[in-house]
Amino acid sequence: MEQIAPHTLLRLRALPALVVEAPLPEWAVAMLKRTPYVIVRRGPQADRIPVGLRGFQKSQRLAAFVSADNVEDAVTPQQALARLPQLDPVRAQLPAFQKLAQLHLLLHDYNWGIGGSLQFELVTGLPMARPVSDIDVIMARPATPLSQTEAGALVMSLQKIAGAHADIQVVHGQVGFSLEEFAQGRDRQIMMKTSTGPRLAIDPWHFEGDTQ
């Protein structure tokens, strides 16, 4: 089965095929009726894809699984970002989307997209974003690694535009790490997100532990 990267939104063919450990809560049932999209989580994909459901509240999150046969469409963070010009003009005036539009010049040299509530709204059309929503930048790992100085300058510029809590997740397959953590250089090793859980690495730019 071809691997689907975390942060990808999946449109389901049939909701009953969604596998959960307990009955779906009311908010999840209501959300799936409005839009049949789930987001890919990190984890093995040998026989099924780990996904997450999200509601309008931050507390409304649920882990689940789905078979590849039940996926009708997949939208990457980059593809979600490309839908920004199609956003409803009223919603486009939200500060979060205005800041997102300003990031194109800053990040034009990178292959990047958007995650979180902004991604979900751009794909589904549901009003998920708030004026103070975080801007979750998802960047494909560049071929040429950034130095700590270059990473720090990029994160600082991002935060000047998007806010103090903005960060860039650098991803490669199932692997991901925080560019801000790398830039700070507080520890010799940096925390890597992988399909089997967090791991430490000295060189995050060439870490290949869990790309599948």
Please give the pLDDT value at position 210.
52
Comparing 78 with 57, the larger pLDDT belongs to 78
Please give the pLDDT value at position 188.
86
Count up the domains in the chain and report the number.
2
**Domain final residue, candidates 74, 95, 118:** 74
Same-domain pairing of 67 and 110? no
Q: Domain for residue 33, yes or no?
A: yes
**Domain final residue, candidates 74, 100, 129:** 74
Region 100-121: mean pLDDT is 96
SS3 content of the chain, % helix, strand, coil (to 5): 35, 25, 40
**Domain final residue, candidates 45, 74, 103:** 74
Please give the pLDDT value at position 212.
43
Same-domain pairing of 194 and 93? yes
Question: Which ranges constitute the DSSP H helices of 22-74?
Answer: 26-34
Please give the pLDDT value at position 1.
57
Same-domain pairing of 52 and 89? no
H or E element that contains 74: strand 71-75
- End-to-end alpha-carbon separation of the chain, Å? 11
Please give the pLDDT value at position 185.
87
